[in-house]
Amino acid sequence: MKKMLLFISVLFTFLLVACGQSSVPSALSCQDGSQPLKVGMNLVYPPFETRDESDNPMGISVDIAEAFGAFLGCEVEIVDVDFAGLIDALNLGDIDVIIASMSRTPQREELIMFSDPYMWFKIIGLVNSDYALANGITEDSTVQDILAIETTEFVGISGQVSYSLPLRLNIPETRVTQATDLDSAVSRVVIGDADIMMMSASPVVRNHLVNPDTTIVMWDPFESSPISIGMRQGEDELQALANTFVASLFEEDGLYEELTVKWEDTVRGILDRYGLEFFLTED
């Protein structure tokens, strides 16, 4: 089923490219001021993509999107799209770029183009407490400790790294359950239907804090996942501009220095162990 869905998405993208994407305007059309740069993200992942008390988009990714728009000379419109639908929304022209904590993976690179990484999300584990106790797993255990337990049951979200990563680590598909969304994946870990969910640190820690008696966090990363700006195939000029923008983020007095001042306490309040720097280096 997964291979069939990937085939359909690849075919869909091929047809768009073959037709010249005639109905889809260039993302850089925003530079003439006639329309905003529509940035797609799923506003359910604080502190990166969320909403404030007045229901306005807020978060680290929102700040990056606004800065990218300013870099291009464009007004920005944040478009809230379910994460699983972001790539289709991009290729249909409903949004112009994706800035949504999206990992750059080989599968996604068959469908869209990406910029250089602007962050790296360490993929860590939300682990069922009973399973951890039975197998001697603690928050300081290693990935190899988990992979050595041949009965470990994994759960991940359809279309996300949390599902594809266990398979890439050669976990048999029979031991990897596919959930439709974050809440159902977390629920499986909480009740013990699955032993571990691999995901980026913010949702893992946040859901552990909601379920402190039934879960633990395992901090050793399974992978350092590159997070990049997504754009349609063939938008080479936009990709070059995006890469220049990304490089500027890391410079002295660049945007990341501002974001660290603004978001450090929030991120450290969520992760406890780490601040924003946790996401700014690959290692």
* Selected residue with higher pLDDT from 125 and 12: 125
Are 191 and 129 in contact by the 8 Å Cβ rule? The answer is no
pTM: 0.81
Q: Establish whether the linkage from the previous residue to 47 is cis, with ω within 30° of 0.
A: yes
Question: In angstroms, what is the C-alpha Rg of the chain?
Answer: 19
Q: How confident is the model at residue 2 (pLDDT cuts 50, 70, 90)?
A: very low
Mean pLDDT of 143-150: 95
Q: Is the per-residue pLDDT at 12 higher than 60?
A: no
- Superfamily of chain region 121-225: Periplasmic binding protein-like II (3.40.190.10)
Give pLDDT tens digits for 54-79: 999 999 999 999 999 999 999 999 99
Q: Which ranges in 32-118 belong to alpha helices (H)?
A: 60-72, 86-92, 106-109
Residue intervals in the chain for CATH 3.40.190.10? 2-118+228-249, 121-225
DSSP state of 252: T
Q: Which CATH topology does 2-118+228-249 take?
A: D-Maltodextrin-Binding Protein; domain 2 (3.40.190)
Specify the pLDDT at position 112: 98
DSSP β-bridge partners for residue 189: none
Give pLDDT tens digits for 167-223: 999 999 999 999 999 999 999 999 999 999 999 999 999 999 999 999 999 999 999
Specify the pLDDT at position 17: 47
Specify the pLDDT at position 253: 93
Structure tokens at 213: 């008696």
Instruction: Give dist(CA 84, CA 216) in Å, integer.
Output: 27
Q: Is the per-residue pLDDT at 162 higher than 60?
A: yes
Are 90 and 97 in contact by the 8 Å Cβ rule? The answer is yes
Q: How confident is the model at residue 283 (pLDDT cuts 50, 70, 90)?
A: confident
- Cα torsion angle, 145, 150, 152, 156, sign: positive
